[in-house]
Amino acid sequence: MMASSYNAKDEDGHITVSGPGGGTLRSKKPENTAFKQQRLPAWQPILTAGTVLPAFFIIGLIFIPIGIGLYVTSNNIKEFEIDYTGVDMSSPCFNCSQNFSWNSTRPCTCTIPFYLDQPYENNVFMYYGLSNFYQNHRRYVKSRDDSQLNGDLESLMKPSKECEPYAYHENKPIAPCGAIANSMFNGEPVSCCAHQTHSSFHLYLICLFTSLADTLELFYNDPNGTKIQIPMTATGIAWWTDKHVKFRNPTDNANLTAVFQGTTKPVNWRRPVYELDTDPQNNGFINEDFIVWMRTAALPTFRKLYRIIPKKNSMVPTLLRGNYTLEVVYNYPVRSFEGRKRMILSTISWMGGKNPFLGIAYITVGSVCFFLGVVLLIIHHKYGNRNNSADIAN
């Protein structure tokens, strides 16, 4: 009689057969694939002084020339900035800034003379700048109705509640609604041009004091004493996509007055949105000044494109060296939040406006990389040779 010892068994009494012939072997065996066995072929780079070294030199060699190029370009850009807020007693706009009242119908104008010490070639861009103005405040940023601005008729009559408290005024929907539109900075002097009565081209906006907005005009003081207004264009200052896709009047109907029937103008505006410009292509929601303002700035100190002074011809600089006068219809109150208002004249290169930071940053980073490359080279020379000999064969 033969016997063998009792063998491995399961808890439910089944005897697991050991040795050859155990039935379920193959099915349970894990598959021998590279992924499951964690044996996928792999590239195993190791960052050592030796491998990183060339990269540092290359970065250095590329960045420094770029930086120099940027810096030179930036330096060639001419920029002139003038603060016309009128905080100082001596400032021409002091009076205007002091006498602000919400109900005044009389515009306050001030004239600021300045001198450009070099001629500005090519297109010159005129910006207005505001400081300490929180266009990026959360309550402000969201206070708009993009559907309304996109010409949605329903939204025109029923502005989004995001526009609160600038959605309804006297039970009429505001078009355009929201805090952003309500606080628009730049207005349109154009429609009042017919009423200019003064020889010095001052705008007496008696009849149609447009809005809360400031209006900026630039005059060249000819050496022989005459003031010549610099012609400026108000188109091309907004993003093409904004003007043609994102912002749309409710209908393409030329008669905007009828379209906006039943709505009311923003509280701080003196004119409704359909009277922003006489040009139907620049009126209503697709008014470029309006669009520019509606693109909220990232930082509390910002500038926005106001006008473009197109170049006349390649022979004569757009703005000659000499004395200029900036005439401001001073409406926009900034004293209450200690803001500042500026006017900027700038030329533009391929890399945009004057910004020495980028060039300097490139030069610095390039130099640092180069320097680090040298340091690493030393390290590599000291220890690297031995490293190579003992390198890991993975």
Binding positions for another protein, 298-357, rule CB under 8 A = 298-305, 308, 333, 336-337, 346, 348-355, 357
When binding is defined by CB under 8 A, the residue of 57, 114, 220, 239 that contacts another protein is 239
Greatest CA separation for the chain: 136
**Pairwise CA distance, residues 390 & 307, whole Å:** 67
Residue 318 carries which DSSP code? S
| Helix H or strand E encompassing 168 | strand 168-169
When binding is defined by CB under 8 A, the residue of 158, 202, 295, 340 that contacts another protein is 295
Number of other CB atoms surrounding residue 350 within 10 Å: 5
| Helix H or strand E encompassing 96 | helix 94-98
Give 30 or 223: the residue with its C-beta nearer to another protein. Answer: 30
Examine residue 381 and tell whether it contacts another protein (CB under 8 A): no
Please give the residues from 38 up to 97 whose contact with another protein meets the rule CB under 8 A. 38-49, 52, 59, 63, 66, 70
Examine residue 223 and tell whether it contacts another protein (CB under 8 A): no
When binding is defined by CB under 8 A, the residue of 196, 221, 264, 296 that contacts another protein is 296
**Beta carbon of residue 61, minimum distance to another protein (angstroms, whole number):** 13
Please give the residues from 108 up to 167 whose contact with another protein meets the rule CB under 8 A. 123, 125, 127, 129, 133-147, 150, 160, 162, 164-166
Examine residue 4 and tell whether it contacts another protein (CB under 8 A): yes
Residue 216, SS3?
Answer: strand
Contact between residue 204 and residue 193 where contact means Cβ atoms under 8 Å apart: no
Number of residues that this document lists for the chain: 394
When binding is defined by CB under 8 A, the residue of 191, 264, 367, 387 that contacts another protein is 387
Q: Which of 261, 256, 319 is nearest to 290 (CA)?
A: 256
Task: State the pairing for strand pair 215-221/227-229.
Answer: antiparallel
Give 92 or 178: the residue with its C-beta nearer to another protein. Answer: 178
Give 137 or 321: the residue with its C-beta nearer to another protein. Answer: 137
**Beta carbon of residue 144, minimum distance to another protein (angstroms, whole number):** 8
247 phi/psi in degrees, rounded to 5:
-105, 130
Number of other CB atoms surrounding residue 368 within 10 Å: 14
Examine residue 24 and tell whether it contacts another protein (CB under 8 A): yes
When binding is defined by CB under 8 A, the residue of 116, 156, 326, 376 that contacts another protein is 376
When binding is defined by CB under 8 A, the residue of 236, 262, 310, 322 that contacts another protein is 236
Name the β-bridge partners of 112: 326
**Beta carbon of residue 36, minimum distance to another protein (angstroms, whole number):** 4
Please enumerate in sequence order all residues whose Cβ is within 8 A of that of 210, keeping only pairs 6 or more positions apart, or say none. Answer: 187, 188, 189, 191, 192, 269, 270, 271
Examine residue 103 and tell whether it contacts another protein (CB under 8 A): no
When binding is defined by CB under 8 A, the residue of 174, 175, 216, 237 that contacts another protein is 237
Examine residue 208 and tell whether it contacts another protein (CB under 8 A): no
225 Ramachandran zone, left/alpha/beta (phi>0; psi -120 to 50): left
Q: Which of 304, 332, 298, 340 is nearest to 137 (CA)?
A: 298
Give 203 or 273: the residue with its C-beta nearer to another protein. Answer: 273
The arrangement of strands across the sheet holding 79-83 comes to: 79-83, 340-347, 124-131, 302-309
Examine residue 386 and tell whether it contacts another protein (CB under 8 A): yes
Residue 165 carries which DSSP code? T
Tell me how far CA of residue 319 lies from CA of 79, 119, 219, 234, 346, in angstroms. Answer: 12, 6, 10, 17, 11
Examine residue 17 and tell whether it contacts another protein (CB under 8 A): yes
When binding is defined by CB under 8 A, the residue of 87, 157, 202, 242 that contacts another protein is 242
Give 192 or 292: the residue with its C-beta nearer to another protein. Answer: 292
Q: How many residues bind another protein (CB under 8 A)?
A: 124
Examine residue 261 and tell whether it contacts another protein (CB under 8 A): no
Q: Find the part of the chain contacting another protein (CB under 8 A) among 105-113, 234-242, 312-320, 323-331.
A: 234-242
Give 43 or 197: the residue with its C-beta nearer to another protein. Answer: 43
